[in-house]
């Protein structure tokens, strides 16, 4: 960035600050200023043109330091941009591409891209066809996602949303996807925690954290998700699949509301400005499955997060986001208190495009599970009268308990899709009757699968060889001992005396 | 007298932005005397602080239309409108490297009034660092015709030759 004097000499346009209200500045002059153009004040502070009136230019400040009336300001002729490049992988940056850790230095990327652009047109898009693994069993089995999907993560505070995001990033980064985490107005300690997690999991070379803390100016916080999307678009154009996590858009909406109310815009519902829907829609529309000019297909999968209050999913921002995404995962506070981890409610959660990416086998499992869990939900009321319940009801309740135990997983763990299918088949064929043994066996299977290439090959062979769920179940029943031995589980054979 | 005609007459005689502030103060003092028992002469004395030509215009206008309890509200409204028009006068900020004398200011002002617009004022600034020439700011447009800029450009283009000469 050049100095104020250099820009003044280059553009030959000057303005004077007439009024300043927190992060909004009104300046006279600058006759050729354009919307979204960066302006620079004589003290070196920067801002962006928000709107133009007959006599004045409305500027949103990017600085914490106050601007005084009478100060000089000039145009820069450039739009908001962020440096993009592979140099940023493994770094934590702000929306201007500067490192959050000021003691560190990296090679500066040579290319910059505008932060806020229009989404690509329909001719560059392709139907979502590839499956997106989250590593979370309940989601991969019941609410499957596709690459390029926009799935809203919604739930109350402390219901495991962030843990789910960690698991998904962990899984995707290990598969080679570039993961961008956009922390919007987060606590600095939270940003540090995320950095620590990525580093500890060894995935920091495939991740970028773009974050703003709550103490940053509202104008900068507002830019965070847009900057993250610009980075994602760069990596997509370079031939990578990208995952963008936006944590969270409810905070983003609140900061946008703050700017607009200070800017004297007419308040609408819940005091949000009239264009709040457009603000989020044009951001999320930049995600999707794209055909690049060279014919290759690469996706930007987006997981925006929104917080609900007391389980109310009908809030203004929440419903707006639901309508502009391809489904949502609802984190249920009741399920969380019951001990389900992750507490995803499969009955309220929706995936509009994920199922079309599933293989016939996974689709059958998905249907079987959904219809079984629906039946279980109906029968759940009878669980209080277990003594009087029939054998069929008792069996359904017992299997459901095993299924929910199978869905439980730690927040640091991302499971393989094939392995999930095999464990499900073992469970479905009633191999386990005892819950404790089942939990113990699943831990062993996970461990063995991770370390044994032969186990991985066997499972792959089993799944690729099966045409349908029934066929797979048949094979597993026949070769149960062999499979379990390969997965490290000791098979106890009960012989009739 | 209509406010626009009076404004045109006064604007023609105003040279720099500081003059407007002086006129505005006098007009305010004058309107404050409306409800007091001051004589016309006492009222007119207020304008003596202003440049002679402007003071003459104002006193002559007042002499034509003496203030009476009946018309003082109308006169006050005219004066308020005049003050507003003066406040909204456009100006050109001119930064030069020397403190100009009265004749130079008049020369600048007359040229601008003749070649640009009669009601435009000069906001005169003094900055030694520009060495010579002038900086102009009008309507958000910034033009640097200073010697400082010329020298900087020259140093950039002929840096090696100048360094050679100096060594």
What count of other Cβ atoms lies within 10 Å of the Cβ of residue A146? 25
Tell me the average pLDDT across B143-163. Answer: 89
In chain B, what residues touch A11 (CB-CB under 8 Å)? Answer: 142
- The confidence score (pLDDT) of residue B63 equals 76
| B143 touches A: beta carbon within 8 Å | yes
Q: Do B142 and A28 touch (CB under 8 A)?
A: no
In sign, the C-alpha dihedral spanning A412, A418, A423, A425 is positive
- What's the token pair of residue A365? 């499992």
Question: Residue A493's pLDDT is what?
Answer: 60
Residue B11 belongs to some domain of the structure:
yes
CA distance B16 to chain A (A): 19
Q: How confident is the model at residue B163 (pLDDT cuts 50, 70, 90)?
A: confident
Instruction: Answer whether residue B111 is part of any domain.
Output: yes
A214, two tokens? 């709550």
Determine the pLDDT at residue A257.
Answer: 96
DSSP-derived pairing of the beta strands A145-146 and B133-138: unpaired
Taking each helix axis from N to C terminus, what angle separates A188-201 and A161-174, rounded to the nearest 10 degrees?
A: 40
pLDDT grade for A497, boundaries at 50, 70 and 90: very low
CA distance A418 to A472: 12
Q: How many CB atoms lie within 10 A of CB A376?
A: 18
d(CA A460, CA A172): 19
Nearest CA in chain B to A12: B142
Contact by Cβ (8 Å): A140, A133: yes
CB-CB under 8 Å, B143 with A29 = no
Q: How many domains does chain B have?
A: 2
Pick the closest to residue A279 from A226, A328, A214 (CA basis). Answer: A226
Residue B167 lies in a domain: no
Interface test with B, best of A12, A26, A30 (most B CBs within 10 A): A12
pTM for this model (two decimals) = 0.87
| pLDDT tens readout for residues A107-121 | 889 999 999 899 999
pLDDT at residue A17 tops 50: yes
- Which residue, among A167, A239, A179, has the nearest Cα to A205 in the 3D structure? A179
Average pLDDT over residues A319-342: 94
Question: Of A26-30, A335-339, A464-468, B132-136, which range is least confident?
Answer: A464-468
**A469-478 vs A453-465: helix axis angle to the nearest 10?**
130
The answer to the question of residue B120 being in a domain is yes
Cβ contact (<8 Å) for A31 and B137? no
Which single residue is written with the structure tokens 């023609």? B12
Question: For residue A141, what pLDDT is reported?
Answer: 94
Tell me which DSSP letter residue A494 carries: P
Check: CB of residue A90 under 8 Å from CB of residue A48: no
Gap between the Cα atoms of A489 and A484, Å rounded: 5
State the nearest Cα–Cα gap between A83 and chain B, in angstroms. Answer: 29
Mean pLDDT of all residues belonging to chain B: 85
Write out pLDDT tens, residues A91-149: 999 999 999 988 888 888 999 999 989 999 999 999 999 999 999 999 999 999 999 99
Most trustworthy range by pLDDT among A3-7, A467-471, B3-7 = A3-7
Is residue B82 located within the same domain as residue B13? yes
User: Please, is A338 exposed, middle or buried when counting C-beta atoms within 10 Å of its C-beta (0-12, 13-18, 19+)?
Assistant: exposed
In a domain, B122, yes or no: yes
Checking if the pLDDT of A495 tops 60, the result is no
User: Do B20 and B73 fall into the same domain?
Assistant: yes
Residue A396's pLDDT band (cuts 50, 70, 90): confident
Residues A265, A282, A341, A352: which is the catalytic one?
A352
Using alpha carbons, list the distances in angstroms from residue B42 to A135, A223, B39, B47. 92, 63, 5, 10
Contact (CB<8Å) A31/B142 = no
Q: Which residue of B has its CA nearest to A28?
A: B140
* Rounded Cα–Cα distance for residues A172 and A24 (Å): 40
- The neighbour count for residue A260, using CB atoms within 10 Å, is 24
Rounded to whole angstroms, how far apart are CA atoms A291 and A297?
A: 5
Taking each continuous run of H as one helix and of E as one strand, the counts in chain A are 16, 19
- Which site among B140, B143, B144 would you substitute to test the A interface, given the most A Cβ atoms closer than 10 Å to its Cβ? B140
Q: Are strands A350-351 and B91-96 parallel, antiparallel or unpaired?
A: unpaired
User: Does residue B123 sit in the same domain as residue B143?
Assistant: yes
User: Is A286 among the catalytic positions?
Assistant: no
pLDDT at A55 > cutoff 70: yes
B83 and B110 together in one domain: no
B74 and B99 in a single domain? The answer is no
Looking at the fold, whether B77 and B105 belong to one and the same domain comes out as no
Mean per-residue pLDDT, B138-150: 92
Do A250 and A155 contact (CB within 8 A), yes or no?
Answer: no
The pLDDT of A159-181, averaged and rounded, is 94
Phi, psi (deg, nearest 5) at residue A145: -115, 160
> Domain check: are B43 and B106 in the same one?
no
Residue A492 has a pLDDT of 65
B17 at interface of A, judged by CB pairs closer than 8 A: no
Q: Give a yes or no: residue B26 inside a domain.
A: yes
**Same domain assignment for residues B83 and B13:** yes
Q: Which residue range is the domain that position B141 belongs to?
A: 91-159
Average confidence (pLDDT) over A150-160: 94
Same domain, yes or no: B103 and B67: no
Domain stop point among B87, B122, B142: B87
Distance from CA of B145 to the nearest CA of A (A): 11
* Digit-coded pLDDT (tens) for A282-324: 999 999 999 999 999 999 999 999 999 888 899 999 999 999 9
DSSP letters for A238-292: TT--EEEEEETHHHHHHHHHHHHHHTTPPP-GGG--TTHHHHHHHHHTT-EEEE-
Give residue-wise pLDDT tens across range B94-131: 999 999 888 999 999 989 989 988 888 999 999 999 99
Residue that the structure tokens 């690469």 belong to: A298
Measured CB to CB, residues of chain A less than 8 Å from chain B are: 8-9, 11-15, 28-31, 74
Q: What is the mean pLDDT of residues A73-88?
A: 94
Measure CB to CB from residue B143 to each of A12, A15, A30 and give the nearest one.
A12
C-alpha to C-alpha distances, B32 to A238, B36, B86, nearest whole angstrom: 74, 8, 19
Residue of B nearest to A33 (CA): B140
B131's tokens: 């060495």
Q: Which of B87, B119, B139 is the last residue of a domain?
A: B87
Please list, in sequence order, all residues whose beta carbon lies within 8 angstroms of the beta carbon of residue A254, skipping any fewer than 6 positions away. none
My answer on whether B73 and B13 are in the same domain is yes
Q: Is the ipTM of this complex over 0.85?
A: no
Considering the domain architecture, whether residues B147 and B75 belong to the same structural domain is answered as: no
Query: Looking at the predicted structure, is the pLDDT value of residue A489 above 90?
Result: no
Q: Do residue B114 and residue B73 come from a single domain?
A: no
Q: Are A112 and A84 in contact (CB under 8 A)?
A: yes
CB contacts under 8 A, B 111-140 vs A, are 137, 139-140
Domain-located, residue B10: yes
What does chain A come to in residues?
Answer: 497
In this prediction, residue A386 carries a pLDDT of 58
Region of poorest pLDDT, from A61-65, A442-446, B71-75? B71-75
Domain boundary among B54, B87, B120: B87
| Nearest chain A Cα distance for residue B141, angstroms | 5
Q: Which residues of A touch B139 (CB under 8 A)?
A: 29, 31
Is B137 close to A30, i.e. CB distance below 8 A? no
B:56-85 residues touching chain A, CB 8 A cutoff:
none
Residue at B165 is within a domain: no
B12 pLDDT band (50/70/90 cuts)? confident
Lowest model confidence (mean pLDDT) among A155-164, A292-301, A472-481, B1-10: B1-10
List chain A residues with CB under 8 Å of B146: none
B149 touches chain A (CB under 8 A): yes
Kind and range of the H or E run holding A245: strand A242-247
């Amino acid at each position: 960035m050049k100095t104020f004097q250099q820009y003044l000499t280059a553009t030959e346009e000057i303005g004077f600050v007439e009024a300043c209200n927190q992060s909004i500045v009104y300046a006279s002059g600058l006759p050729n200023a354009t919307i979204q153009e960066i302006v620079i004040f004589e003290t070196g502070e920067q801002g962006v043109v928000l709107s133009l009136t007959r006599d004045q230019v409305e500027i949103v400040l990017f600085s914490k330091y106050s601007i005084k009336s009478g100060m000089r300001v000039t145009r820069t002729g450039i739009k908001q941009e962020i440096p993009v490049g592979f140099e940023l992988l493994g770094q934590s940056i702000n929306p201007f591409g500067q490192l959050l850790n000021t003691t560190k230095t990296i090679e500066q990327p040579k290319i910059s891209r505008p932060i806020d652009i229009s989404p690509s047109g329909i001719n560059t898009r392709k139907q979502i066809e590839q499956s997106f693994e989250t590593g979370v069993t309940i989601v991969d089995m019941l609410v499957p996602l596709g690459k390029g999907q926009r799935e809203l993560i919604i739930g109350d505070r402390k219901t495991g949303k962030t843990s789910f995001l960690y698991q998904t990033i962990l899984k995707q980064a290990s598969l080679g996807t570039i993961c961008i985490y956009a922390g919007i107005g987060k606590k600095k300690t939270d940003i540090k925690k995320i950095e620590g997690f990525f580093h500890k999991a060894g995935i920091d070379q495939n991740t970028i954290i773009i974050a703003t803390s709550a103490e940053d100016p509202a104008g900068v916080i507002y830019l965070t998700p847009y900057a993250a999307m610009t980075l994602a678009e760069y990596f997509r154009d370079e031939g990578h699949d990208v995952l963008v996590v936006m944590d969270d858009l409810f905070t983003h909406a609140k900061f946008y509301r703050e700017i607009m109310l200070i800017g004297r815009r007419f308040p609408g519902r819940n005091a949000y400005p009239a264009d709040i829907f457009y603000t989020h829609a044009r951001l999320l529309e930049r995600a999707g499955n794209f055909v690049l000019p060279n014919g290759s297909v690469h996706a930007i999968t987006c997981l925006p997060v929104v917080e609900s209050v007391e389980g109310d999913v009908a809030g203004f921002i929440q419903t707006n986001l639901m309508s502009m995404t391809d489904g949502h995962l609802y984190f249920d506070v009741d399920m969380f208190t019951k001990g389900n981890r992750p507490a995803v409610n499969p009955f309220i959660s929706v995936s509009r495009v994920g199922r079309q990416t599933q293989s016939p086998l996974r689709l059958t499992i998905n249907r079987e599970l959904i219809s079984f869990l629906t039946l279980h939900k109906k029968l759940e009321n009878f669980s209080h009268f277990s003594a009087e319940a029939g054998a069929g009801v008792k069996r359904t309740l017992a299997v459901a308990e095993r299924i929910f135990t199978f869905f439980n997983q730690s927040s640091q763990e991302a499971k393989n899709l094939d392995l999930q299918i095999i464990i499900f088949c073992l469970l479905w064929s009633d191999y386990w009757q005892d819950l404790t043994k089942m939990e113990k066996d699943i831990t062993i299977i996970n461990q063995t699968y991770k370390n044994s290439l032969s186990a991985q090959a066997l499972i792959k062979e089993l799944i690729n060889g099966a045409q349908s769920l029934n066929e797979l179940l048949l094979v597993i029943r026949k070769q149960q001992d062999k499979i379990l031995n390969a997965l490290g589980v000791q098979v106890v054979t009960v012989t009739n005396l | 007298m209509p406010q626009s005609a009076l404004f045109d007459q006064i604007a023609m005689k105003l040279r720099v932005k500081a003059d407007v502030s002086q006129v505005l103060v006098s007009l305010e003092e004058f309107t404050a005397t409306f409800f007091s028992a001051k004589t016309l002469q006492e009222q007119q004395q207020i304008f003596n602080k202003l440049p002679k030509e402007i003071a003459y215009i104002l006193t002559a206008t007042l002499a034509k239309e003496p203030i009476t309890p009946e018309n003082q509200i109308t006169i006050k409204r005219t004066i308020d409108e005049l003050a507003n028009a003066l406040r909204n006068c456009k100006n050109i900020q001119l930064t030069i490297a020397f403190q100009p004398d009265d004749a130079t200011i008049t020369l600048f002002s007359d040229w601008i009034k003749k070649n640009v617009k009669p009601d435009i004022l000069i906001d005169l600034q003094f900055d030694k660092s520009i060495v010579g020439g002038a900086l102009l700011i009008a309507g958000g447009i910034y033009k640097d015709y200073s010697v400082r800029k010329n020298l900087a450009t020259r140093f950039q283009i002929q840096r090696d030759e100048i360094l050679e000469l100096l060594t």
